[in-house]
Chain A
Amino acid sequence: MLNIDQIRAGYGEGDVLKGVSFTAATAEIHGILGVNGSGKTTLFRVLNDWLPKRAGRTAFSNEELKGYHIGFLETDPYFYPYMKGKEYLGLLKVKNEDYNIDAWNAIFDLPLDQMADEYSTGMKKKLALLGLLAQDRPVLILDEPLSGVDIESNVKFQEIILRLRESGKTILLSSHMLGALTAICDKISLLSGGVITKTYQKEEFSNLEELITAQIKEGLDQQLDELF
């Protein structure tokens, strides 16, 4: 069980996160939904310890959440310059001998003999996902995993994420594609104004899209009426 309790964090003087709290069970995919700038990436950075939290507590299985619990897929993954894809995965395999590079790469067919930092955005994301699988951490944080990848890989990503849940991983996932979130998540939390305003259960997903669209359109219609 991943427990996020009253997290406050930010850059400079103001707080971007103003007391974020939620829980994610083991073998659960928990979606985080929010508009640009709502703090999704900031939250993930805090959980990863990339940004210090100003208040609050993060725990996993009754101990403090640490770096070695987490596998993090960034929106825009970075790789060591002039290192081949195969070398990157080989380095992670040193710590996980069961990991079969060729078998996993057969899914995406990446040119592993090329330099990873020269890959396209989608290819970098696929390599980062393969690296995440090699790391085999209990908590996975996936920041926009489906953006920048082609439609075929999108389906493959979703299937892999579902299999990871089956294997007992706790997965936090953010996406701008509501359809993709509702298809694979068990819960979706709405992050707005630096707090989780509501958490939707799977049975509430059916009308979630209409609900959110209606909320957005409410103010927008009036603004557009004035402009046009």
Chain B
Amino acid sequence: MNGLSTILQLRSLQGFRMLRSVGWPLLLLGVPMIAVLSLGVFEGASEGYSLAMIFGIGVLRLHNYRKDHNHLRLLGYNPSIVCMVEYQAIAVFFGIIAWLLVGNYSNLMVMMAVCPIVAILPRVSWTLLKKWLFFPVGWMPLQDFEYRVGMRLAGWMVVALIAFGSLVAYTSPIVPIVSVIFISMITTSWHSAFEPISMIELEQSPTQFLATKLIKSVKYLLLFFLPIGVVFLIHYSDLWYLFVVIVLFGLLINSFAILYKYTGYHRSREKAHGEMAIGMFSMCSLVPFFAPVCLFYLVVYFKKAHQNLNTILC
């Protein structure tokens, strides 16, 4: 039990460090908005078993993604028990909030019951799955490696969203808009891994380097949004400005993801870990009141990225 509580303490510490890495100004700005949004989602999802379902899918994904099973075994812990305790800690946290909000404790019960089942499941072999899941990317230029790798992993999802956003657009203007938002959020994750220094063209100027990356992002996003946009304009031409705003949102958060990556780029590190910062930036940019703050942050991060690249590029 002592070992398990140490692991839970370590996990809390990791969570705290992750929050701290986002930076206090962005955190102070984003936390109230995330809280309001999350409470709204909780309230809506807590009525039936939706919250338990969302939790189950999330935990299942986390369970299959984590790679510390063998490490835990080496340390003398049973991975299934550690996983179960960790998942139940998360379940208690969210379940109690939902209970307090709508007085429905059945979600908490289901969530607690799901944890041991997920914890004993074996991980699905990624090697077997990827053969079927990888999207063909031979048509994309090698220099656009972020998009090549991104499409390889999430290409089918992007295609499905484009198809969904275009073919089901006739039902409601929300459908294409949600598709664009999801595509934009998927593509931000493509700017998370740092490339080795050998892949960076050292003779470019930081401005030229960043401009190339940003233009490339705009090019690909517009390519993805184009079919959805055409269908949207056919059905809802009077709401054209709504689509423009959402496209701008997509371009904005992806630009931020690129600038965040190169602000923290270091040749001996592998990842930007910008999920929290990008998430908060995305939420802020969806609120018109905060839009100027987002633009300000974009300029700040451009300067920071420029400064960092100055020490790397010659």
What chain B residues lie within 8 Å of A49 (beta carbons)? Answer: 311-312
Residue B20 is within 8 A (CB to CB) of chain A in the complex = no
| Bound-state Cα–Cα, A67 to B198, Å | 10
Q: Is the beta-carbon distance between B193 and A91 smaller than 8 angstroms?
A: no
What chain B residues lie within 8 Å of A45 (beta carbons)? Answer: 268
What chain A residues lie within 8 Å of B145 (beta carbons)? Answer: 80, 83, 87, 91
Q: Which of these, A68, A81, A92, contacts B149 with CB under 8 Å?
A: A81
| Bound-state Cα–Cα, A94 to B312, Å | 20
Chain A nearest CB: distance from B92 CB in Å? 34
Q: Is the beta-carbon distance between A50 and B268 smaller than 8 angstroms?
A: yes
Write the B83-101 contact mask toward A (1 if CB under 8 angstroms, else 0).
0000000000000000000
How many chain B residues have a CB neighbour from A under 8 Å? 24
Interface residues of B in 263-284 (CB under 8 A from A): 266-268, 270
Interface residues of A in 37-79 (CB under 8 A from B): 45, 48-50, 66-68, 71-72, 77-79
Interface residues of A in 132-151 (CB under 8 A from B): 132, 135
Q: Is the beta-carbon distance between A91 and B270 smaller than 8 angstroms?
A: no
What chain B residues lie within 8 Å of A48 (beta carbons)? Answer: 197, 267
Q: Is the beta-carbon distance between A87 and B148 smaller than 8 angstroms?
A: yes
Chain A nearest CB: distance from B284 CB in Å? 29
Q: Is the beta-carbon distance between A131 and B198 smaller than 8 angstroms?
A: yes
Known: A48-B267, A81-B193. 19 other contacts (CB 8 A): A49-B312, A66-B202, A67-B313, A68-B202, A71-B198, A78-B270, A80-B149, A80-B196, A81-B149, A82-B153, A83-B148, A88-B199, A90-B142, A91-B143, A91-B145, A91-B199, A92-B198, A92-B199, A132-B198
How many chain A residues have a CB neighbour from B under 8 Å? 26
| Bound-state Cα–Cα, A43 to B143, Å | 31
Which residue of A has the minimal Cβ distance to B267?
A50
What chain B residues lie within 8 Å of A163 (beta carbons)? Answer: none
Chain B nearest CB: distance from A1 CB in Å? 20
Write the B293-314 contact mask toward A (1 if CB under 8 angstroms, else 0).
0000000000000000001111
Q: A50-B267, A90-B142, A95-B201 are in contact. Are A80 and B195 (CB under 8 A)?
A: yes
Q: Is the beta-carbon distance between B314 and A80 smaller than 8 angstroms?
A: no
What chain B residues lie within 8 Å of A80 (beta carbons)? Answer: 145, 149, 193, 195-196, 199
Which residue of A has the minimal Cβ distance to B193?
A81
Q: Which of these, B196, B203, B311, contacts A79 with CB under 8 Å?
A: B196
Which residue of A has the minimal Cβ distance to B203?
A68
What chain B residues lie within 8 Å of A79 (beta carbons)? Answer: 196
Q: List 10 A-B contacts (CB under 8 A).
A: A49-B311, A50-B268, A67-B312, A67-B314, A72-B197, A78-B196, A81-B193, A82-B149, A87-B142, A92-B198
Query: Which residues of B come within 8 Å of A, CB atoms?
Result: 142-143, 145, 148-149, 152-153, 193, 195-199, 201-203, 266-268, 270, 311-314
Q: Is the beta-carbon distance between B314 and A91 smaller than 8 angstroms?
A: no
Which residue of B has the minimal Cβ distance to A115?
B130
What chain B residues lie within 8 Å of A50 (beta carbons)? Answer: 266-268
What chain A residues lie within 8 Å of B152 (beta carbons)? Answer: 82
Chain B nearest CB: distance from A14 CB in Å? 20
Q: A80-B145, A80-B193 are in contact. Are A135 and B153 (CB under 8 A)?
A: no
What chain A residues lie within 8 Å of B143 (beta carbons)? Answer: 91, 94
Q: Is the beta-carbon distance between A67 and B268 smaller than 8 angstroms?
A: no
7 tightest A-B CB contacts, nearest first: A68-B202, A66-B314, A82-B149, A90-B142, A91-B142, A67-B202, A50-B267
What chain A residues lie within 8 Å of B153 (beta carbons)? Answer: 82
Write the A80-103 contact mask toward B (1 if CB under 8 angstroms, else 0).
111100011011101100000000
Chain A nearest CB: distance from B148 CB in Å? 7
| Bound-state Cα–Cα, A77 to B195, Å | 12
Chain B nearest CB: distance from A153 CB in Å? 20
Which residue of B has the minimal Cβ distance to A82?
B149
| Bound-state Cα–Cα, A131 to B312, Å | 19
What chain B residues lie within 8 Å of A78 (beta carbons)? Answer: 196, 270
